[in-house]
DNA sequence: GAAATCTTGCTTTTT
DNA sequence: GCAAGATTTC
């Protein structure tokens, strides 16, 4: 289980959101007394200690408490430190109490980190920061309070993408639109994009909705309608509804404007239009808003983030103070210089110059490989060498190293390789627990039990495990529900009463309904118990109905008696045991919650999957996006090839804007490295199972050459001519030539020629060498060779011009000698 | 109704 | 090259 998940880790830090009364410091806030938290801040040894720790720029940003502030914080410049110190400063100057500060982040992880660090600064736990969280988590709180203003009940469910797609699919079908031509997935993306722009169906510009036979807006409208019927929202709605409420109900908005005395925003460059409006509305009155961000690290444009928001800040908030944090505490000068040389290619920047007083350190390393497998092999070897300390550097552990890829499919090559050499690794951001089939099914059971009107949950599990309720039976249920205007569960009830369903299916359905009813009753007792316990600390009365058992037992019972567990026990596919294991973990995770409802609420919002609880050091593999905000002493950046990185799709879809975002991604990647950064590319890569030759990324050309050392891959272009030409590089030549013997290699030149972009000169030695070598065809047993189709192999027999070869992957084959080449000088 | 086989489209990136 | 979905087959 390479990507084994630890649910426990996901929930470890979770402040239970089960009851939202605890955050209602809001209403209770009339007491003029200072909270224990700010008291602690005041009496903490000397109130200035946290300020002494800051550099001048950080201190300036922390002390500028009133009015709009833009903190431009470059990579590794101590932005979280500044942000958390600012919070503490707000407390200790008495400007705001913890529950009057709104601080928003994008990820749960960032929110946790901030909470932890504020606590550390204060030397104790923070009890009263209910408004520190992600945009989404905070919006859920707000929306629960004002749900009726959005036509919802306050116990609305938050749909996951899966439910969303299924719902949209139904709509598309109902509208007689060809689902193949216009997939639900695409509609989901479209609607999501609209929501990110804060467009309600009425606000979608007519020119926008050409897709779906010009019926995009119509479908959007129907979808919203359906969501309201289901008392459900999707992710985009969380923001959109709140913004709409604020816009339509100035009294509500005003209440919050007054309440949130200070607003802090992390990663401001990632805000989309809806979030931007949300912030502007809330900050509209006092304008005490401090946005922290780095325009150079804006990498979420594809999901609606607007770099423009940060670029425009000073216009949006006249008189804003801008503070630049430019001292970098993370990387060596070479790394910073190289990163800065790449990012300087972007036009639209606010501009920052990072500097550091760290010692010079190693140059970045650049290396080209024959193909992706070779790249993975080399990096694996390199990691092992670095762990042993054989690179002339002090030994690193796996935890110190990370491989950052552009697209997740690149991970496979590394996983394969690391598995074969037994190198421990961890994949960050892989398939998440809540996306797993069995977890979703189980959750659907829980959902149906807590809210029997949840039709989507019903659909998902009526026939899971098989209850003999196929398409036609389900259609009957649908019809019964629609005819009576009820939920599917009640529709099924009516159907049974009317004898609309008979036989085995009917019996099973009836049993299913009875079970849900019974469990619902228990779940209801749990939630009322929780509410009562919250409201008055009185121990439950004798005569108050009491649940026969706790929510954990309930969950177990649901999964067992419904036959769901059994279904997997009887399943003989190899993944079944893992699924059962996951279900166990799911139940275990319930321990941290009071009842199922609280659990569901939490899971809906938990979108990250942190699992760093392993004792064994492991190399991290993740995407560049997932790496933002992280740092590692050693970083590998493979796959720097045009089309892959920068991604073709990104450039096709968004042109120059897309390219600039890719470049920022490159910047993010390089700046993750503290000491050693290795960029690599491969000449060949399998794309959709098809071999394709690749050109090195244009970003490689943008690296400042004085900060880069070009490595010759051992065994590739090495020995013979490669080494001969490699050492003697003349200065003053075109950059590419000075950069490497890689660039002098036959393969490279071939690639250049193909691209119509020839290097100015070619070292004599390398010309024609390839042909000479292969023409000689003097093969011996034991020799390593390469075959275009079968890959690498070792010669185990020679018969005239026929060779018997044991290929690494393809097995033993007999091939004609002229079809194989020496792996050291394979022509492209 | 379920299993076996064939086809398709897919690779960004995520709250 | 693969996984999901569709289609065919039992």
- List bases, strand B, within 7 Å of protein CB: 1-2, 9-15
Looking across all nucleic acid strands, the nucleotide with the smallest C1' to CA distance from residue A690 is C1
A97 — phi, psi (to 5°)?
-90, 160
Contact A86, A246 (CB under 8 A): no
What is the predicted pLDDT for the residue at A352?
86
Tracing tokens 């950064």 back to the chain, one arrives at A677
A481 CB contact with strand B at below 7 Å? no
- Distance separating alpha carbons of residues A575 and A759, to the nearest angstrom: 52
The owner of tokens 């797609």 is A165
Half-sphere exposure of A811 (CA within 13 A, CB side): 0
Spatial neighbors of A9 by CB under 8 A, at least 6 apart, are: A609, A610, A611, A612, A613
Q: Does residue A710 sit in helix, strand or coil?
A: strand
Residue A42 has pLDDT above 60, yes or no: no
* Angle (nearest 5°) at CA A312 between A306 and A317: 125
Is it the case that residue A825 has pLDDT exceeding 60?
Answer: no
From CA A532, how far away is CA A529, in angstroms rounded? 5
pTM: 0.78
Q: Is A266 a catalytic residue?
A: yes
Separation between the CA of A184 and the C1’ of C4 (whole angstroms): 14
% residues pLDDT > 70 (chain A) = 77
Considering A23, A35, A77, A79, which one is annotated as catalytic?
A: A79
Q: Does residue A28 have a pLDDT over 50?
A: no
* A27 CB neighbours strand C below 7 A: no
pLDDT digits (tens, 9 = 90+) for A441-481: 888 899 899 888 888 888 888 888 888 887 778 888 888 88
Q: How many CB atoms lie within 10 A of CB A527?
A: 20
Mean pLDDT lowest among A2-11, A522-531, A612-621: A2-11
The pair of three-digit structure tokens given for residue A658, joined into one six-digit string: 């897309």
Check residue A18 and give its pLDDT: 35
Whether A59 sits among the annotated catalytic residues: the reply is: no
Given a cut of 60, is residue A328 above it in pLDDT? yes
Nucleotides on strand C lying under 7 Å from protein C-beta = 1-2, 6
pLDDT band at A531 (very low <50, low <70, confident <90, very high): low
Distance, CA of A162 to C1' of C4, in Å: 14
Query: Which of A318-322, A375-379, A455-459, A514-518 has the least mean pLDDT?
Result: A455-459
Radius of gyration of chain A (CA): 30
pLDDT-based confidence at A591, cuts 50/70/90?
confident
3-state secondary structure of A487: coil
Q: How far apart are CA A302 and CA A659, in angstroms?
A: 12
User: Residue A628 — left, alpha, or beta (φ > 0 → left; ψ -120 to 50 → alpha)?
Assistant: beta
Q: Which residue is nearest to nucleotide B12 (CA to C1')?
A: A407
Write the pLDDT tens digit of every residue in A211-249: 777 778 888 999 999 999 889 999 899 999 999 999 999
Residues 486-515 of A with CB under 7 A from strand B: 505
Alpha-helical regions (H) of A571-608: 576-589, 596-605
Better-predicted residue by pLDDT, A624 or A772: A624
A185 catalytic, yes or no?
no
Give the C-alpha separation, A154 to A146, whole Å.
Answer: 7
User: Whose C1' is closest to the CA of A189: which nucleotide?
Assistant: B14
- In terms of Cβ atoms closer than 10 Å to its own Cβ (0-12, 13-18, 19+), residue A550 is middle
**Nucleic strand B under 7 Å from the C-beta of A408:** yes
Given a contact cutoff of 8 angstroms between Cβ atoms, the answer to whether A687 and A630 are in contact is: no
CA A642 to chain centre: 23
Helix (H/G/I), strand (E/B), else coil: A439 = helix
- Contact predicate A317/A71, CB 8 Å: no
Q: Is the pLDDT of residue A72 over 90?
A: yes
Structure tokens at A67: 């009015």
Cβ–Cβ < 8 Å for A207, A194:
no
**Looking at the predicted structure, is the pLDDT value of residue A813 above 80?**
no
Nearest to A371 by CA among A716, A623, A708: A716
- Is the pLDDT assigned to residue A551 strictly greater than 50? yes
Q: Is the CB of A181 under 7 A from strand B?
A: no
**A730 CA → B11 C1’, Å:** 41
Nucleic strand C within 7 A of Cβ A490: no
The answer to whether residues A725 and A766 touch, using CB atoms and an 8 Å cutoff, is yes
Q: Which of A163, A234, A266, A306 is catalytic?
A: A266
| Residue A297 annotated in active site | yes
User: Which residues from the 162-181 window of protein chain A have CB within 7 angstroms of nucleic acid chain C?
Assistant: 179
Task: List Cα–Cα distances, A664 to A667, A670, A696, in angstroms.
Answer: 5, 10, 18
Please state, in angstroms and rounded to a whole number, the distance separating the CA atoms of residues A716 and A12: 48
Task: Supply the pLDDT for residue A733.
Answer: 29
Assess whether A79 carries a catalytic annotation.
yes
């Amino acid at each position: 289980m390479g990507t084994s998940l630890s649910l426990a880790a996901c929930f470890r830090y979770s402040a239970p959101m089960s009851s939202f009364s605890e955050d209602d410091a809001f209403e209770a806030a009339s007491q003029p007394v200072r909270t224990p938290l700010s008291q602690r801040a005041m009496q903490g040894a000397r109130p200035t200690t946290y300020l002494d720790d800051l550099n001048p720029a950080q201190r300036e940003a922390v002390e500028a408490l009133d009015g709009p502030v833009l903190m431009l914080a470059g990579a590794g410049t101590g932005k979280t430190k500044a942000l958390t110190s600012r919070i503490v400063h707000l407390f200790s100057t008495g400007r705001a109490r913890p529950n009057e500060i709104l601080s928003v982040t994008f990820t749960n992880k960032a929110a946790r980190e901030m909470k932890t660090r504020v606590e550390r600064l204060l030397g104790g736990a923070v009890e009263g920061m209910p408004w520190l969280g992600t945009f989404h988590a905070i919006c859920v709180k707000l929306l629960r309070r004002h749900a009726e203003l959005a036509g919802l009940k306050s116990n609305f469910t938050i749909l996951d993408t899966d439910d969303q797609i299924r719902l949209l699919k139904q709509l598309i079908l109902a509208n007689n639109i060809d689902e193949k031509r216009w997939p639900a997935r695409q509609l989901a993306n479209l609607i999501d994009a609209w929501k990110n722009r804060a467009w309600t169906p009425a606000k979608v510009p007519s020119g926008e909705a050409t897709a779906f036979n010009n019926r995009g807006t119509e479908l959007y409208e129907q979808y919203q309608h359906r969501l309201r019927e289901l008392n459900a929202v999707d992710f985009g709605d969380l923001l959109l509804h709140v913004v709409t409420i604020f816009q339509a109900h100035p009294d509500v908005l005003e209440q919050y404007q007054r309440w949130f005395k200070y607003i802090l925003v992390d990663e401001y460059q990632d805000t989309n239009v809806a979030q931007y409006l949300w912030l502007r509305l809330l900050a509209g009155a006092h304008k005490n808003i401090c946005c922290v961000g780095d325009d150079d690290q804006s990498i979420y444009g594809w999901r609606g983030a607007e770099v423009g928001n940060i670029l425009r800040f000073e216009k949006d908030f006249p008189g804003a103070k801008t503070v630049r944090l430019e001292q970098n505490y993370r990387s060596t000068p070479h790394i910073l210089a190289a990163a800065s040389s790449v990012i300087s290619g972007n036009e639209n920047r606010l501009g920052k110059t990072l500097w550091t007083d760290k010692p010079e350190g190693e140059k970045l390393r650049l290396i080209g490989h024959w193909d992706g497998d070779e790249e993975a092999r080399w990096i694996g070897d390199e990691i092992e060498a670095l762990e042993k300390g054989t690179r002339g550097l002090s030994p690193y552990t796996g935890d110190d190293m990370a491989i950052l890829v552009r697209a997740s499919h690149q991970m496979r090559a590394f996983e394969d390789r690391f598995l074969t050499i037994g190198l421990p690794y961890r994949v960050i951001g892989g398939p998440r627990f809540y996306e797993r089939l069995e977890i979703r099914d189980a959750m659907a059971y829980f959902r149906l039990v807590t809210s029997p009107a949840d039709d989507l949950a019903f659909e998902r599990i009526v026939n899971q495990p098989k209850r003999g309720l196929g398409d036609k039976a389900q259609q009957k249920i649908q019809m019964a529900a629609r005819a009576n205007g009820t939920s599917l569960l009640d529709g099924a009830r009516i159907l049974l009463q009317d004898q609309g369903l008979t036989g085995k299916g009917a019996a099973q359905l009836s049993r299913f309904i009875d079970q849900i009813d019974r469990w619902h009753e228990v779940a209801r007792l749990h939630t009322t118990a929780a509410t009562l316990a919250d409201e008055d600390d009185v121990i439950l009365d004798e005569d108050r109905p009491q649940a026969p058992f706790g929510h954990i037992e309930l969950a177990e019972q649901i999964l067992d008696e419904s036959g769901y567990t059994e279904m997997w026990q009887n399943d003989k596919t190899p993944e079944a045991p893992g699924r059962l294991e996951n279900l166990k973990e799911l139940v275990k995770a319930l321990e941290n919650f009071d009842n199922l409802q609280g659990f569901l609420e939490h899971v809906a919002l938990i979108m990250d999957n942190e699992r760093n609880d392993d004792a064994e050091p492991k190399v991290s593999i993740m995407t560049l996006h997932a790496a933002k905000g992280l740092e590692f002493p050693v970083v590998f950046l493979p796959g720097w090839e045009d089309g892959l990185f920068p991604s073709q799709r990104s450039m096709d879809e968004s042109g120059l804007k897309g390219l600039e975002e890719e470049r920022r991604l490159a910047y993010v990647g390089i700046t993750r490295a503290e000491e050693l950064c290795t960029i690599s590319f491969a000449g060949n890569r399998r794309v959709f199972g098809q071999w394709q030759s690749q050109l090195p990324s244009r970003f490689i050309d943008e690296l400042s050459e004085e900060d880069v050392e070009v490595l010759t891959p051992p065994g590739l272009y090495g020995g013979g001519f490669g080494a001969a030409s490699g050492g003697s590089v003349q200065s003053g030549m075109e950059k590419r030539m000075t950069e490497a013997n890689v660039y002098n290699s036959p393969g490279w030149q071939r690639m250049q020629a193909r691209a119509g972009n020839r290097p100015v000169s070619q070292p004599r030695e390398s010309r024609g060498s390839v042909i000479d070598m292969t023409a000689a065809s003097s093969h011996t047993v034991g020799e390593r060779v390469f075959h275009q189709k079968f890959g690498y192999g070792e010669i185990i027999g020679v018969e005239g011009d026929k060779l018997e070869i044991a290929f690494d992957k393809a097995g033993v084959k007999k091939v004609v000698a002229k079809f194989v080449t020496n792996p050291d000088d394979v022509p492209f």
